[in-house]
Structure 1
Amino acid sequence: MAKALRSLRRIVLAPDLAEVSFARRGFAPLPTGHAAARLQDVPRAVVCGFEWAMEASGTREVADRLELLDAEQRGFGYEGATMAFTITDVMGRGQRTRELLDGPGRPHILLAYIGIGFAMARLPRVLWKKVLPDLTGQPFHPVMSWLAVDGYGFDLAFFHTRRWVDEQRVPASYPWQGAPDYFPRAVDQGIGRALWFIHGARPERVEAAIRSFAGHRRPDLWSGAGLAAAFAGGCGAQEFDTLRRLAGAHAPDLAQGAVFAIRARDLAGYVPGHTAVAASTLTGLSVQAAVKLADDSAVTDDAAGPVPAYEQWRRAVHAHFRPEGAMSR
Structure 2
Amino acid sequence: MSAIGKVRRLAFGVPSAQAVFSRPGFAPEAWQRFAPVARSLVAGYHATLEDSRLDRLVPRLEAVDRELHGFAYEGAGMGLAALDLLTFTDRRLTQFVQGPGAAHIYPVYVGVGLALARLRRDPEAYLRRLDPLLGWIVVDGYGFHEAFFKRRRYLERRQTPGHLSSYAQRVFDQGMGRAIWFSCGGVVPLVVRLVDGFPEQRHGDLWSGVGLASAYGGGADRTGLRAVQAHAQPYTAQLARGAATAAAGRELAGNQTAHTELACQVYCGMSAAEAADTLDRARRDLPTAATGTAEPVYEAWRRRTEALLSV
* TM-score normalised by length of structure 2: 0.91
Deviation by residue 1:191-219 (Cα, 9 ceiling, x = unmatched): 00100011110122111110000111111
Offset at residue 133 of structure 1 (A): 4.6
* 1-structure distance, mates of 2:56, 2:83: 16
Q: Name the stretch that deviates more: 186-195 or 99-108.
A: 99-108
Correspondence for 1:119: 115
- Is it true that 1:155 corresponds to 2:140 in the alignment? no
Q: 294, 302, 305: which one pairs with 1:317?
A: 305
Aligned residue for 1:142?
Answer: 132
**295-304 or 66-75, larger mean C-alpha shift:** 295-304
Q: Name the SS of the counterpart of 1:201 in structure 2.
A: coil
Amino acid at match of 1:41: P
User: What one-letter code is carried by the residue in structure 2 that aligns with 1:11?
Assistant: L
CA distance in structure 1 between the aligned counterparts of 2:276 and 2:282, rounded to whole angstroms: 10
What is the RMSD computed on CA atoms of the aligned residues? 2.2
CA distance in 1, matches of 2:95, 2:81: 11
The answer to whether structure 1 residue 76 and structure 2 residue 75 are counterparts is: no
> Which moves more between the two structures, 15-24 or 37-46?
15-24
After superposition, the Cα gap between the structure-2 partners of 1:167 and 1:126, relative to the gap in structure 1 and judged at 3 Å, is: closer
Mapped to 2, the partners of 1:150 and 1:67 lie a distance apart of: 25
Q: Which amino acid aligns with 2:16?
A: L
1:32-57 CA-to-partner distances (Å, cap 9, x unmatched) read xxxx8452221221111111001115
Give the letter for the 2:48 counterpart.
Answer: A
Deviation at 1:287, TM superposition (A): 1.6
- CA deviation string 1:8-53 (max 9, x = no partner): 343333322245542345411218xxxx845222122111111100
Q: Does the Cα contact within 8 Å between 1:227 and 1:257 map onto a contact in 2?
A: yes
Structure 1 residues without counterparts, runs of 5 or longer = 135-140, 175-179, 324-329
Matched, 1:91 2:91: no
Post-superposition shift, 1:3?
A: 4.7
> Cα distance 1:44–1:9, how it changes in 2: closer, same or farther (>3 A)?
same
Distance 1:127 1:228 in 2: 21
Shift in Å, 1:284: 0.4
CA offsets 1:272-327 (integer angstroms, 9 cap, x no match): 1000001101110112211121111116444123101111111111123448xxxx
Residue 123 of structure 1: how far off its partner (Å): 2.0
CA contact (8 A) 1:90 1:130 kept: no
Equivalent position amino acid for 1:228 in 2 = A
Identify if the C-alpha distance between structure 1 residues 29 and 59 changes in structure 2 by more than 3 Å, giving closer, same or farther: same
- Over 3 Å counting, the alpha-carbon distance change for 1:106 and 1:20 in structure 2 is farther
Aligned partner of 2:11 in structure 1 is: 12
Residue 303 (str. 1) matches residue 299 (str. 2)? no
Residue type at the aligned position of 1:100 = F
Pick which of 273-282 and 116-125 moved more: 116-125
Q: Go from structure 1 to structure 2 and tell me whether the alpha carbon gap of 1:220 and 1:3 turns closer, same or farther (over 3 Å shift).
A: same
Seen in structure 2, the aligned counterparts of structure 1 residues 237 and 127 have a Cα distance that, compared at 3 Å, is closer
Change (3 A) 1:314 1:109: same
SS in 2 for 1:306: coil
- Which residue matches 2:51? 56
Percentage of identical aligned residues: 36
- State yes or no: 1:215 paired with 2:200: yes
252, 261, 267: which is aligned to 1:276?
A: 261
Q: Gapped runs of 5+ residues in structure 2?
A: none
Q: TM-score, normalised by structure 1?
A: 0.87
Q: Which residue of 2 aligns with 1:326?
A: none
8 A contact 1:20–1:43 mirrored in 2:
no
Structure 2 distance, partners of 1:109, 1:301, is: 21
Q: Which residue is equivalent to 1:173? A: 163
1:23 aligned counterpart, secondary structure: coil
In structure 2, which of residues 106, 124, 129 is the aligned counterpart of residue 110 of structure 1?
A: 106
Question: Is the Cα–Cα contact under 8 Å of residues 90 and 127 in structure 1 kept in the other structure?
Answer: no
